[in-house]
Structure 1
Amino acid sequence: MASRNRSPLRSRTLPFTLWAVHSDATSLGLLGTVLLGTVLLGTVLLGVAGCGDDASVVKEIQVQRQARLQTETKQDHLGEVHRLLTRLIELNPDESQRQISYHLNRWLESAPLPEQATKPALFKTIADRLPVASRDELLLSDRFVRSDISHLRDAYLFGAIAKWIDSPRSDDPLLENWLAEQQTKLGESHANQLRSACRFFDWTVRNVALEPFMATPGMQLTPPEMPLGMVFQGAGYRQTDYETVWRGTGDALQRTGVFTQLCRQAGVTAALLAVPSAETGELAPWAVGVLIGSDVYLFEPALGVFVPGPNQVGIATLADARTDASVMRRLNIPGFFDYPFSKQEVQQNIALLNVLPVGMSSRMQHLESRLTGDRRMTVYSDVDEIAHKLDAASGIAGVRIWDVPLLAEVYHTALEQAAQRDPMLGFWYYSRWAIMDANVESSRLFSLARWRHLHGEFDSDDENHIEGARPLYLSQRKPEFEIADLRIDVNLQMAYGIRRELGMPTELYDRQVQQAQNMIRLGKQTATYWLSLIQYDDGRYDTAETWFRKRVLDDSQLSHWVPAARYNLGRTIEHLDEQEQAVELYKTSGDIQEHGNRIRARLLLKSEAD
């Protein structure tokens, strides 16, 4: 009897033996054919009878294979994708990307794209920013690639944020009565969309501390050369939307990115409005327009305030700004600030859509159509349809894809590569947000706290073994005596990745300890500020006031969060009916958002007088 490891070979050669016998039989008579067939049949039967083990093995293999195929067919690949996205911060980045790509493509095998992918017409407005070879892969690929995962991560996270902040607790008190009136004027559906947009804008302004358009690195560096005409630390593109919401700080363009991402997840159409130069055609962004029905409502991220409507009531529409000169004029603060745009200059606007090429692809459209229930998120934008709706609005002279989000992706990659080549740049690049990004236990816990915070999971859920953002942030608030003792505290050294190698000079070791101490203090300041924001978003305004006033703004704890904390303190005490104190805070000279804060102070005084 043949051994078992020969059975596959036998199963492959048997058909050829039958073919050879049949060929010879054609030249014989009927008797010869019958005899040959009888001999062959007997041989086969003897083989089967004598090799029962082989037959059972083949059958076992077939059963196992069938079971495996059935299991893979039944496996909920999209469920696995969602599960991985929810735990992304806890997983190895490379491994999670690989697994998500695997499950997406396995799902595609059972649910292929319904038709051949095509490029949307609006893609041509961004095509020149992409290498020719990349265009087809981004838009037309019928397979998910690893670079798609960051897009899915963003959609998931902004969707998670939008869900918990779209609630009455997030309403701006200045708009409460006006929004109630819009229920009758606009109808319930449109009024709810406008209310959601107001909540998203308000959260963005409070949670993304404003930075200047051009940021300075804070240390002497040789600026690296950047592609596509970008400059080091340039406006808008120096952070992606994800980095902006993750770090809680950004310039006005980056605030725009966060705001429009939140709107998209709620099905609200929002676009950056820019005025084209009559001489050069260069675009000058000035506000975000939110399309509600046929009207475009105006929000100003640089000022951190909605554009007040006629008579400083409610929110102005683009039609208001184009017909009523007082709307734009009231964005001036006489004697302090002049707004750079007037009624005449905002007559014609280009609407810029915050959509990456992957977000226009057919594979994302197909994926979104299959996401239901808790898995639902917006991963696809029908940019041509959106452009058609915006084009119909008065004052919109054209629609394009905004290039800043794409440039931010390119900038991120280029800067990371430059940081690997230049040690000084590398130190600056990796140390800025080491409190969350470093490969040490304290940073892992801090990033987990931030992830929980952005999900609105403030308190621990013991039943599901989820530690909330509040206790996780509190664990980062090391007392000063403990920070000072870092040099002799071995356990704390291990938590912050400090290791004194054999033969390490004392000077180098001391420098390592000092850097870690700076990191711990920065982490403490950041955790304290974010805890204060949690108190506000949780409706604990008395507690929030204490945290902002006595912990973040205390002279002994001053940090780069001070201007944002002062603004948020003002917003907090508005809820405590301390409007006069809030107005004084908004008038603080020198704060980066002073212009917009003074507009809010004026609106607050008007609301008190009415």
Structure 2
Amino acid sequence: MNRPIWLGLGFAPLVALAAVATGCDYSSREPDVVSPGTFSPGRGPMPGTGRNTAAASPREAADRAAILDSSIELIRNSVLHPGGDNFGRATQQLNQYFEGTPGPSYRLESDARDFLAEQLPPEMLRDLESPMWSPRGDARHLEDCMLYSSVAGRIGGTGDDLERARRVFDWMVEQVQLVPAGWLGSRQLPQVPARPYDVLLRGMATESEGFWSERAWLFMELCRQLNIDVGLLTYTRGNVLKPRIQAGPGADQADSQQVIPWVCAALVDDKAYLFDARLGMAIPGPGGRGVATLADALADPSILERMDLPGQHSYGTSRASLISSPTKIGVLMDSSQGFFSPKMKLLQGELVGKNRTVLYRNPAQQRDHFAKVLGDRLGEVRLWSTPLQVEQELFRNPQFVDSTKQSLTFFSSDYPLIYARIKQLRGDLEGALGEYISFRLIKDVPLVSERNKAKSPQAQAGGRQEPIRTIPAEVQKGLDLYATHYMGLAQLERNNLGSARDMFEQVLTMAAEPDPTQPFYVAFRWGADANLGRVYEGLGDAPLAIRHYARANRSDPSWQRHGNLLRARDLVWRRPFAPGAGRPAAATVNAAAR
């Protein structure tokens, strides 16, 4: 039987969680107030809910469609209109929309309940089955999923699922720079794990030893929108008792040294394809081609041996270590609660067209999918505690909230960066570039609140007397670097390689060599070098690509350095008659790194 996940989180189960404001503003901790509308469960099915559609008149169907569209738009636009009650109004409308839905529709399916009951306390299960839509967790889940859906649908595109997963993974690696654990902290507040929505905004993530895997979590969420199941594979070293899996920094070290979180496995056509979010690359298949499956790695020692950098750094995981794992291959699944809620299943069935979004996944069916694919190599399939911990800490722990806000300093609603970044993530690249240009490298940019005041009727009538407040110079310096880097990413996504190169070169000029005494945003220097490697590889200039890959993370202790050096080495191997090819590949890479 699975050990209850909440026993490993270090805090008691929470029933009443505090509210979080819209967008990336986590300042509100007031009790959640639900606007119920005229909701009264159990009266009978509401026309148009998929159970009694024929009974709905055209007027009723149109009214209900308008209610649903309005609620979705309120949530989608909440981040662009901070300070309002978008979440409250949206959930009131959702309560109205589902008014009269039979009570049994809100019950967990029996297999899902059995699986979750082994790991979650009864209070959490009751909360999942609540018929009431709340601004607290439900609207947040919708907002998150709509952003993930926008990214995954645009980047994944069409084609077979493996290719779509590869596109999403590669985009994520380009967009989200790895930083060492603690990099986004300060003397006053430590860095804490972040949810994927915030990772996308800030373009920085941590993949540390243990279970702090922000890019892995983001990959799970993006692939979910493609209906691809992804889990974090683990194995154990030595003969150990059944481990306690605990999330994030501060995890029990005895367990962490034995339970090894390894790579993401994406299930496609009954095969588990391996993507290493730490290295920022898929594990190459036999002969260095395609993406390796778990079966490949278990059958052929060279698959994982190829991931070593002889004389520099060992990959650490081998075929032998996987086969000798006393607990076989474990799987950690996303524990974000919204995906288990029957309410989300009901709403998912109602969303069509541009609003179509994956909101729900039966966890027992996901477990069974992993069992089918991994077969007799499968150990335990359980919920990954990190997502649940992050969600709950954001609603209960003021210091955790403050640490999260600290990493999002430049995404205040009073600065223009967040509005441009949201446009970029939603695919409006032209609009985002225009927004970045409007404030990048410009002095005395007014605060957004000041711009809004200037548009008010009183200001237009000449009633404003006080001076206009502008963005502080130190903040503007950070915004300039963010905007320059994000403009490079936008051009990279558009495949405008020359423009992308120019912007990333500017990042190298603007950002000092990263070290703990510098502002955390200088880490974009590492990302710019790595993306310049991709640019020059796309332009067919292998020597310059090797140079940038090899030097990208000279001062970065994260696993991304290992991945970049593997890319450089593979380019050397592909060009055996290029200058310097007479030396071993590792020596060539070392020379480039210097």
TM-score normalised to the size of structure 2? Answer: 0.72
Q: Which runs of 5+ in 1 are unaligned?
A: 1-66, 169-190, 224-231, 421-425, 460-467, 498-512
Q: Is the 8 A contact 2:340 2:362 kept in 1?
A: yes
Q: Is the 8 A contact 1:290 1:297 kept in 2?
A: yes
Partner-residue secondary structure (3-state), 1:331: coil
Is 2:164 the counterpart of 1:196?
yes
The one of 396, 399, 402 aligned to 2:381: 399
The one of 567, 580, 590 aligned to 1:600: 567
Change (3 A) 1:256 1:375: same
Is 2:399 the counterpart of 1:418?
yes
Partner-residue secondary structure (3-state), 1:274: strand
Q: Is the 8 A contact 2:394 2:400 kept in 1?
A: no
Residue deviations 1:200-220 (CA, integer Å, cap 9, x gap): 1101111111022x3145542
Aligned residue for 2:220? 260
How far is 1:474 from its partner?
1.3
Aligned residue for 1:8? none
- Alpha-carbon distance in 2 for matches of 1:491, 1:448: 13
How far is 1:245 from its partner?
1.1
Aligned residue for 1:24? none
| Partner amino acid, structure 2, of 1:308 | P
Residue deviations 1:527-554 (CA, integer Å, cap 9, x gap): 11000100110110011111111x1011
Aligned residue for 1:546? 502
Change (3 A) 1:552 1:96: same
Partner-residue secondary structure (3-state), 1:302: coil
Partner-residue secondary structure (3-state), 1:286: strand
Q: Is the 8 A contact 1:201 1:259 kept in 2?
A: yes
Change (3 A) 1:86 1:370: same
Q: Mapping of 1:117-516 within 5 angstroms?
A: 117-118=107-108, 121=111, 132-137=122-127, 139-146=128-135, 147-167=137-157, 192-212=160-180, 214-216=181-183, 219-221=186-188, 232-234=190-192, 238-252=193-207, 253-277=213-237, 278-282=239-243, 283-347=259-323, 348-394=328-374, 395-415=377-397, 417-418=398-399, 430=405, 432-438=407-413, 440=414, 443=415, 445-459=416-430, 468-479=431-442, 482=443, 516=472
- Alpha-carbon distance in 1 for matches of 2:400, 2:263: 34
Aligned residue for 1:102? 92
Is 2:555 the counterpart of 1:590?
yes
Residue deviations 1:277-306 (CA, integer Å, cap 9, x gap): 541433321100011112111010101111
| Partner amino acid, structure 2, of 1:99 | R
- Alpha-carbon distance in 1 for matches of 2:447, 2:183: 35
Q: Mapping of 1:9-88 within 5 angstroms?
A: 74=64, 76-88=66-78
Change (3 A) 1:202 1:535: same
Partner-residue secondary structure (3-state), 1:400: strand
- Alpha-carbon distance in 1 for matches of 2:215, 2:370: 21
How far is 1:560 from its partner?
2.1
Change (3 A) 1:331 1:475: same
| Partner amino acid, structure 1, of 2:417 | F
Change (3 A) 1:358 1:437: same
Change (3 A) 1:363 1:476: same
- Alpha-carbon distance in 2 for matches of 1:449, 1:520: 15
Change (3 A) 1:112 1:72: farther
Residue deviations 1:159-213 (CA, integer Å, cap 9, x gap): 0011221248xxxxxxxxxxxxxxxxxxxxxx7100000001101111111022x
- Alpha-carbon distance in 2 for matches of 1:266, 1:152: 16
- Alpha-carbon distance in 1 for matches of 2:435, 2:448: 16
How far is 1:598 from its partner?
1.3
The one of 574, 577, 588 aligned to 2:540: 577
How far is 1:95 from its partner?
0.7
TM-score normalised to the size of structure 1? Answer: 0.70
Is 2:49 the counterpart of 1:89?
no
Change (3 A) 1:246 1:429: closer
- Alpha-carbon distance in 2 for matches of 1:74, 1:125: 35
- Alpha-carbon distance in 1 for matches of 2:393, 2:289: 41
How far is 1:339 from its partner?
1.3
Partner-residue secondary structure (3-state), 1:553: helix
How far is 1:378 from its partner?
0.3
Partner-residue secondary structure (3-state), 1:604: helix
- Alpha-carbon distance in 1 for matches of 2:61, 2:302: 67
| Partner amino acid, structure 2, of 1:578 | D
Aligned residue for 2:28? none
Residue deviations 1:307-347 (CA, integer Å, cap 9, x gap): 11122222111001111111111111001111121112223
How far is 1:158 from its partner?
0.3
Aligned residue for 2:585? none
Identity %: 25
- Alpha-carbon distance in 1 for matches of 2:448, 2:360: 45
- Alpha-carbon distance in 1 for matches of 2:470, 2:130: 49
- Alpha-carbon distance in 1 for matches of 2:508, 2:82: 37
Aligned residue for 1:522? 478
- Alpha-carbon distance in 2 for matches of 1:378, 1:351: 22
How far is 1:414 from its partner?
4.2
| Partner amino acid, structure 1, of 2:319 | K
Q: Is the 8 A contact 1:113 1:363 kept in 2?
A: no
Aligned residue for 2:44? none
Q: Which runs of 5+ in 2 are unaligned?
A: 1-56, 208-212, 244-258, 454-468, 514-521, 578-594
- Alpha-carbon distance in 2 for matches of 1:260, 1:514: 40
Q: Is the 8 A contact 2:115 2:364 kept in 1?
A: no
- Alpha-carbon distance in 2 for matches of 1:493, 1:118: 45
Partner-residue secondary structure (3-state), 1:239: coil
Aligned residue for 1:532? 488
Larger radius of gyration between Structure 1 and Structure 2: 1
- Alpha-carbon distance in 1 for matches of 2:83, 2:471: 26
- Alpha-carbon distance in 2 for matches of 1:490, 1:407: 38
Change (3 A) 1:429 1:208: closer
- Alpha-carbon distance in 2 for matches of 1:118, 1:600: 46
- Alpha-carbon distance in 1 for matches of 2:187, 2:202: 23
Q: Is the 8 A contact 1:533 1:544 kept in 2?
A: yes
Aligned residue for 2:20? none
Change (3 A) 1:396 1:603: farther
Q: Is the 8 A contact 1:473 1:527 kept in 2?
A: yes
How far is 1:412 from its partner?
2.5
Q: Is the 8 A contact 1:260 1:271 kept in 2?
A: yes
Partner-residue secondary structure (3-state), 2:373: coil
Change (3 A) 1:254 1:247: same
Aligned residue for 1:509? none
